[in-house]
Amino acid sequence: MRPLPDFSLINPDSFINGHPHAAYDVLREHVPVYHHPGSAIQPGFWALSRYEDIRSVSLDAENFTSTQGFRIPPDTFAAMDPEIGLVLSRFMLAMDNPEHNAFRSLVSHAFTPAAIAQAETRVRASIDALLAGLAGRDEVDVVTEVAAIVPIKTVCAIMGVPEADEWRVFEFTNAVFGIDDPELSPTLEVASERFMAIFDYGWDLLEARRREPRDDLMTRIAHATVDGRPLTPVEQKSFFSNMISAGNETTRSSLAGAIWGLGHHPDQRRLLLDAPALIPPAIHELLRWFSPVYQMARTATRDVDVGGTRIRAGERVAMLYGAGNHDPAIFADPHRLDLGRANAQRHLAFGYGVHHCLGWRLAVLQLRLILEAFLTAFPDYALAAEPTYVRSNMVRAMKTLPIRLRG
């Protein structure tokens, strides 16, 4: 058997340049259900690299739970303030049904097709303002000056975060996903302080909505009940933290990834420039190819077979989304960006099953509208450098991506 790659899911350095597809390919071919070693402070686990295995576990609520952790954490999480772990444990991502559905239903009305259609006017206005701000510029950073702007404005408007605090949301998101990045969180103490600042900000906003209700999700969360009881303070802080971070980070990363990918594939960019009607289906291929989330996890509730391997009750299973999205058994020539790919919509970028992304329609809408407008305004843009990534073992978040707007 070919030697296994030097790959550690626990170590964020494994993802310093994005998905390690060469390692995924070896695992998928030789040990698709791979027993990954643990560390001094956490046990080993199973890593899945085949699409069908990931899909199977995602759909198997009878044998797998999310309540024991929705990701494989880096070891640094063990040293964080205990309140942080408590709030994270009440994310919707860490719930099973029926509890998950009960919490999801509190905010799902904001992400229905009708609600997304109403949001389109707001999104288009934000895009117009974004492009006006780029007028006359030669070089910009895609992450901070393009990709972050509209998703943050959109999620803040839906949640009820004041416009003056939008940039704080960007910093909050970096704190959530950048705990292991020395540029974003130079020490564990600083990382803990930033997490607590998110919780405190969310709580202050919720208290304000209890005093003065408005037509926004913060008001709904502040006054919500589940099974006849009000949400606890921890659950309310969790709701805010979960939605404010997930609601903008993956969209920001996916848009930056799309601009980067099209910068490296001028033939594919030309397809969209010549036929803008191809952009809506192309969004799914860009999501598949880039894959903004590295992994999510489940824990077996009983002994169960996955891909011909026995998983014991209590063992964790990591689902490597980038590996699944590049599985040649599902996607022919998977490492090639092919905007005409017929089955691209089968991608795993939004998850699968119970935890399929609540805001996926909003994300697709924003990606489509921003990409249409950006390509129209700057059809000849060129990459000025390769991206730098947040040091994370969970999300493929870019920190910088400089481009020249006019080639």
The Cα 319–Cα 51 span in angstroms is: 9
> Which residues of the chain register pLDDT less than 70?
1-3, 407
* Count of helix runs (H) and strand runs (E) in the chain: 16, 14
Amino acid at 114: A
Q: Please report the DSSP string for 171-223 in residue order.
A: HHHHHHH-TT-TTT-SSHHHHHHHHHHHHHHHHHHHHHHHHS--SSHHHHHHT
Give yes or no for a cis peptide into 186 (omega within 30° of 0). no
> Considering only the top CATH level, what class is 12-404?
mainly alpha
Other Cβ atoms within 10 Å of 59 Cβ, number: 12
Half-sphere exposure of 133 (CA within 13 A, CB side): 13
Class of residue 158 by CB neighbours under 10 A (exposed 0-12, middle 13-18, buried 19+): buried
Q: pLDDT tens, 110-129?
A: 899 999 998 999 999 999 99
Question: What pLDDT does residue 2 have?
Answer: 57
Tokens of 319: 């689902």
| Whole-Å CA distances, 234 to 200, 241, 242 | 11, 10, 12
Note the Cα 359 to chain centre separation in Å.
11
Q: Any idea which residue has 């803008």 for tokens?
A: 276
Question: What pLDDT does residue 3 have?
Answer: 64
Strands 139-141 vs 402-404: parallel, antiparallel or unpaired: antiparallel
Question: What pLDDT does residue 179 have?
Answer: 83
The Cα 296–Cα 160 span in angstroms is: 28
The dihedral of CA 220, 364, 253, 79: what is its sign? positive
| Whole-Å CA distances, 285 to 170, 278, 379 | 26, 11, 20
Backbone angles phi, psi at 33, to 5 degrees: -110, 90
Question: What pLDDT does residue 190 have?
Answer: 82
The Cα 223–Cα 206 span in angstroms is: 9
Residues with Cβ within 8 Å of residue 267, at least 6 apart in sequence: none
For 61, which DSSP code? Answer: T
The Cα 296–Cα 381 span in angstroms is: 34
Backbone angles phi, psi at 218, to 5 degrees: -65, -40
Q: Would you state the torsion angle of the CA atoms of residues 121, 122, 124, 127, taken in this order, to the nearest 10 degrees?
A: 170
What is the value of pTM for the model shown?
Answer: 0.94
Backbone angles phi, psi at 65, to 5 degrees: -125, 150
Q: pLDDT tens, 173-227?
A: 777 788 888 888 888 788 888 888 888 999 999 999 999 999 999 999 999 999 9
Contact 323, 27 (CB under 8 A): yes
Q: What is the residue extent of each domain of the chain? A: 12-404
Contact 301, 232 (CB under 8 A): no
Contact 372, 282 (CB under 8 A): no
Contact 7, 294 (CB under 8 A): no
Strands 295-300 vs 388-389: parallel, antiparallel or unpaired: unpaired
